[in-house]
Copies of this chain bind each other. A is one copy, B any other.
Amino acid sequence: MTLPPLRDLLDEVAAGRVSPTDAERRLHAYLRDLPFEDLGFARVDHHRVLRQGFPEVILGTGKSPAQIAAIASRIVDRGQSLLVTRTNTEAFAAVREQVPGAVFHPEARAITLQQKDIVPGKGLILVAAAGTSDLGVAEEAAVTAELMGNQVDRLYDVGVAGLHRLLSAQNRLSAARVIIVVAGMEGALPSVVAGLVSVPVIAVPTSIGYGASFNGVAALLGMLNSCAGGVTVVNIDNGFGAATTASLINHL
């Protein structure tokens, strides 16, 4: 909530070109008219690309295809890259009518359109996944990270019950600047990975499992209690959130 043009306005007031009454009105208007756009059912936050380095992302859950398409077209019209998460082919059909170049990623359940507003990241983000059932969440992370300007390496099906699969990929682990580790069930993979590298590891528990996995709670607790240094955790199935942080780190 900075006030960037403040000095210009004050110069105008000092020069008598703007009356104090007028300046007061404009200052209040400035505070009121921060750059979000009110669509009635949503306030599109066009300012976010400045504040956070990436435009507002559309969470597909609970929004109709028409609503998603409407917000998507507003974002694309401003020259900003588009990302819709947790969406489906039905919503994609609606979006494609408004945004012809949009792409659908079925595994990741995401719609994207890359535009020129994205700054490339500095290094490589590796996305590791423990089992084949974790691929959906891993792909959400990978697609998000790529759209945000990062180079991504995918290393899937390297669960801890067959360590040799992970150990044989140690040079790929070493090449990454940030590592996202996606795992369900007991969620042990992030601890093992973090013990092998010296970069930040972002752990994503998945809801994969049954019984006492409690839809990802077992994996979440496992990751929060990791005995290895350098592990932080995001919400269950939150591949998008992990990629957002990984991208922030990779752009530092």
Interface range, A side: 35 or more
State the oligomeric state as a number of copies. Answer: 8
User: Using an 8 Å CB-CB cutoff, how does the interface string of A235-252 with B read, 1 for contact, 0 for none?
Assistant: 111100110110011001
User: Using an 8 Å CB-CB cutoff, how does the interface string of A170-206 with B read, 1 for contact, 0 for none?
Assistant: 1000000100000001111001101111111010010
Which residues of B sit under 8 angstroms from A133, Cβ to Cβ?
59, 61-63
A: residues with CB less than 8 A from B are 1-3, 6-7, 10-11, 13-14, 16, 19-20, 23-24, 27, 31-34, 36, 41-43, 45, 47-48, 51-54, 57, 59, 61-63, 67, 123, 130-133, 135, 156-165, 167-168, 170, 177, 185-188, 191-192, 194-200, 202, 205, 207-238, 241-242, 244-245, 248-249, 252
> Could you list some 25 contacts between A and B, CB below 8 A?
A1-B164, A6-B27, A14-B16, A34-B164, A34-B168, A43-B156, A43-B157, A43-B165, A47-B162, A47-B164, A52-B230, A59-B133, A62-B208, A160-B227, A177-B252, A207-B211, A211-B225, A211-B237, A212-B216, A213-B235, A217-B221, A220-B224, A224-B234, A229-B248, A230-B245
**7 additional A-B residue pairs with CB within 8 Å, beyond A2-B170, A123-B252:** A1-B170, A14-B19, A36-B162, A42-B157, A51-B197, A163-B163, A209-B225
